[in-house]
Amino acid sequence: MDRIIFGDNQFFGVNHVSDEKSRAQSIRFKEDISILKTIDIAREGGIDTFMCTTHERIAHICELIRANQSQYAGFSIYPCLPYAHKYANVVTEFGILGALKQYVPGNLFSSVFKGGVALASKDVLSLMELLIDSEMKMFKGLNTPVIFLQNVITDLLIGLRMKDVLKAYHAYIIKKYNAEPGYITMNMPLLLDVLTDIGIKNPIICSSINIDGFRMSGGKSLYEHLLSTREIRAIAMQVLSGGAVPPSQAIEYVTALPGIKSILFGASSKANIHETIGLINYYDSKSKLSIV
Number of domains in the chain: 1
Q: What is the pLDDT of residue 124?
A: 76
Which residue range forms the structural domain that includes residue 57? 4-83+140-291
User: What's the CA gap between 99 and 65, in Å, rounded?
Assistant: 30
Asked whether residue 185 is domain-assigned, the answer is yes
What residues are paired with 260 via a beta bridge? 234
Query: Mean of the per-residue pLDDT values for the chain?
Result: 87
Asked whether residue 111 is domain-assigned, the answer is no
Please compute the mean of the pLDDT values over residues 214-238 and round it to a whole number. Answer: 96
Asked whether residue 89 is domain-assigned, the answer is no
Please compute the mean of the pLDDT values over residues 172-199 and round it to a whole number. Answer: 98
The answer, yes or no, to whether residue 281 has pLDDT greater than 80, is yes
Q: What percent of the chain has pLDDT over 90?
A: 72
Secondary element (H or E) of residue 201 = none
Q: What is the pLDDT of residue 118?
A: 40
Q: What is the pLDDT of residue 125?
A: 85
Q: What is the pLDDT of residue 106?
A: 55
Give tens-digit pLDDT for 108-166: 445 444 444 444 455 678 888 988 999 999 999 999 999 999 999 999 999 999 999 99
Q: What is the pLDDT of residue 245?
A: 87
The answer, yes or no, to whether residue 250 has pLDDT greater than 70, is yes
Asked whether residue 106 is domain-assigned, the answer is no
Asked whether residue 260 is domain-assigned, the answer is yes
Q: What percent of the chain has pLDDT over 70?
A: 80
Residue 263 phi/psi, 5-degree rounding, is -120, 125
CA 261 to each of CA 1, 122, 205, 253, 269: distance values in angstroms, whole numbers, following the listed order: 7, 37, 10, 14, 25
Asked whether residue 109 is domain-assigned, the answer is no
Residue that wins the pLDDT comparison between 26 and 207: 207
Please compute the mean of the pLDDT values over residues 255-273 and round it to a whole number. Answer: 96
Q: What is the pLDDT of residue 117?
A: 44
Asked whether residue 195 is domain-assigned, the answer is yes
Residue 206 phi/psi, 5-degree rounding, is -105, 125
CB 87 within 8 A of CB 102: no
Q: What is the pLDDT of residue 28?
A: 80
Give tens-digit pLDDT for 10-64: 998 655 455 566 666 667 888 999 999 999 999 999 999 999 999 999 999 999 9
- CATH code of the domain in which 235 resides: 3.20.20.100
The answer, yes or no, to whether residue 94 has pLDDT greater than 60, is no
Asked whether residue 46 is domain-assigned, the answer is yes
Residue type for position 229: T
